Structure 1
Amino acid sequence: MITLSSIDLPRFMADWYGPPDRPAERALDCDHLPAPLHAWYDLAAKYSTSLLGIKRFTPPNRIGLRNGKLVFLSDPGDAIWGFDPNEPMSVYEGSLYGEWAKVPESLSEFLVHNAIGEAVYNAPVTKYGGSVENSRVRDVLASLTEVAIGAWSWPDVGHRLFMGQGVIVEVGPAIDNGALLDDLSGYSEVQVGAITSSRLAYLDEFPEID
């Protein structure tokens, strides 16, 4: 397993997106934020390209309270993430119309988890299988190492991340006949991202996978 704490976020970003291409200036209006979140905004400010594929961080000067939590991240639907101002290193997952649930990761770990998960969708090269037999998914993952992430409800329960050199794979139960990866009778949704097409050449070994 790869632990989230073992991943150096600036180095991961440089490997995935290239070196920063903007002056190393601190992001504005972040002094009220917990140090890990402030560091994320500082890092993102050094890139002219987006470091996100699906979700979006709230501009620091617009982070506000919602049901007792300061919301700093959202997705295009109604999912939101925030921290408790009285416990700023804890992260809570919720929705615009629901209750908050504490995420089993510290804020630092959450930010790494989010960056890796977003990189799968924001990669220069991607492949997707909406319904892949779990026995075949294991073949796809054979050369990769699982990341020890905490359980989120987004985008659904049962999602897992795997990493290799320049490759990240997210696996979750398929919409139809979906099952956890350990259930070989079921199917999974598989999203693959890589920094170059050559990193995904090994998938050509599985022409039967759509």
Structure 2
Amino acid sequence: MIDPMQIDLASFVRTWHGPADAAVVKLPPSCDWLPAPLKDWYEFSSQWSTPLMTLKEMKPADQVAIDCGRAIFLEDFGDQAWAFDVEDPLVVLERQSTGEWLRLSEGISEFIVHNVMQESAYMAPYWRSCVEVPDVQLQQILAPMNEVAFGDWFWPRPGHRIFFAEGLVADIGPAMEDLAPWGIKAGYSEVQIGALNPVSLTYLREVQGVEWATSE
């Protein structure tokens, strides 16, 4: 497995999102209470004029506020949210649709890397996606990549994993049943693979029985 803290986040972003095209926006002193890894990310990501994420949205740094000891800094476009613990700012909490907060096993530095890589699988210039891949095909699909040893998230459902190789990044998770209550479909996985070059995805033509949605 790949140690997530051995991934150079700045180099990854520049490779997958292109060079910075704006001047860094320094945070005001009023944001000094934010944990250092989060402040660093706000300032670093400010150098891109286009968003570095589309599945989720960072709250503006000056709008991160404390509520019952938690400071929400990231939300999806539903009812999920992520916060840090004000008493222990390196601890990340994830809010479920029930309103319950659950502590993640990864700290905020690892969480930021995890989030950026997961988003990049969907924002890559070239991609393949399938919501029902037979699990027996995963070994062939993931052969060029190695798993990144991230901690678990509960969003969008437990069991998602990130795989990575030069020019490839994949988000793999349990497939969803076709009908409510939308449980896990046994024997199948959702697969999203992003690539920097379409040639890197040609090996997927050899995978039998999978109908890919594609970027082309």
CA distance in 2, matches of 1:9, 1:112: 6
Point out 4+ residue stretches in structure 1 off by more than 3 angstroms.
Answer: 27-30
Give 1:67's aligned residue.
68
Contact 2:96 2:102 in 1 (8 A): no
Determine if the alignment matches structure 1 residue 117 to structure 2 residue 118. Answer: yes
Contact 1:5 1:109 in 2 (8 A): yes
> TM-score when scaled to structure 2?
0.89
Give 1:182's aligned residue.
none
Residue identity matched to 2:147: E
> TM-score when scaled to structure 1?
0.91
1:67 is displaced (CA, Å) by 3.1
Give 1:15's aligned residue.
15
Contact 1:4 1:149 in 2 (8 A): yes
Q: Residues 1-210 of structure 1 correspond to what in structure 2 (within 5 A)?
A: 1-28=1-28, 30-95=31-96, 97-176=98-177, 178-179=185-186, 186-206=187-207, 208-210=209-211
| SS class of match (1:151) | coil
Give 5+ residue unaligned stretches, structure 1. 180-185
Give 5+ residue unaligned stretches, structure 2. 178-183, 212-216
What is the count of residue pairs matched by the alignment? 204
CA distance in 2, matches of 1:165, 1:54: 23
CA distance in 1, matches of 2:209, 2:96: 38
- 1:65-111 C-alpha deviation (Å, 9 max, x unpaired): 23320000000110000011111111111147512111101110110
CA distance in 1, matches of 2:42, 2:82: 16
Residue identity matched to 1:103: L
Contact 1:53 1:119 in 2 (8 A): no
Q: Which moved more, 1:28-37 or 1:7-16?
A: 28-37
1:157 is displaced (CA, Å) by 0.8
- 1:102-144 C-alpha deviation (Å, 9 max, x unpaired): 1101110110011111111111112111111111121100111
Give 2:180's aligned residue.
none
Contact 1:124 1:193 in 2 (8 A): yes
| SS class of match (2:112) | helix
Contact 1:80 1:96 in 2 (8 A): no
| SS class of match (2:130) | strand
1:93 to 1:209, Cα distance in 2 relative to 1, 3 A? same
CA distance in 1, matches of 2:3, 2:194: 20
Residue identity matched to 2:85: D
Contact 2:131 2:189 in 1 (8 A): yes
1:27 is displaced (CA, Å) by 4.1
| SS class of match (2:176) | coil
